[in-house]
Amino acid sequence: MSVEATFFRSTTNRHTSRQAVSAIFLVKRLCLAATFAFGVALGTTVASAQDARGQVTNLPLPRYVSMKAAEGNVRRGPSLTHRIDWVFKRRGMPLQITAEYGNWRKVQDRDGAGGWVHYALLSGVRTVLIETDLLPVYATPDPNSQINAHFETGVVARLGACTPDWCRVSAGGYRGWTLKSNLWGVDASEIRE
């Protein structure tokens, strides 16, 4: 075989390899585009499915927690160098986590006020805020059952089991069932055992 034939063959193989790589790259891009288009048609995208989980804890976002500390500084950003905008002063107050960054959680209260709080100030214990004045708390999840207590607006109650419409709550030594729609700190579709 001559030197010219060898050069032609190696050039041809290189050219063919580049075409193959280009074809594979094109197929991958088309598959990715088709997946994205399918997700958009369903109303979701790959990115939105990943956004539903926290980057640090991999827990769902948003989610509810409560204040573990009696007092907690709420900052503009996720570090001690950021300015304090709020001070939450109510132990057990329900908060909603909307973002995570390192040891910091972005939270908001019922009114939408909030900012970044160090995770050590938060607890996974679930509480709710009573939103209806003199809310009846029933012995069973039935409005015809005995009323155990009436909770005032703003009472922080511990959250127990929840059905599609009712939740078991307790505060001040009283416990019972009440309609989920009268509570802040639990999602309307949330079921708890």
Cα separations in angstroms, 41 against 37, 44, 71, 74: 6, 7, 46, 40
Rounded Cα distance, 138 and 103, in Å: 40
Asked if the model's pLDDT at residue 136 lies above 90, the reply is yes
CA distance 67 to 75: 15
Q: What percent of the chain has pLDDT over 70?
A: 74
Given a cut of 80, whether residue 173 has pLDDT beyond it is: yes
Question: Residues 83-128: pLDDT tens digits?
Answer: 999 999 999 999 999 999 999 999 999 999 999 999 999 999 999 9
Give the lowest-confidence range in 35-44, 97-106, 140-149.
35-44
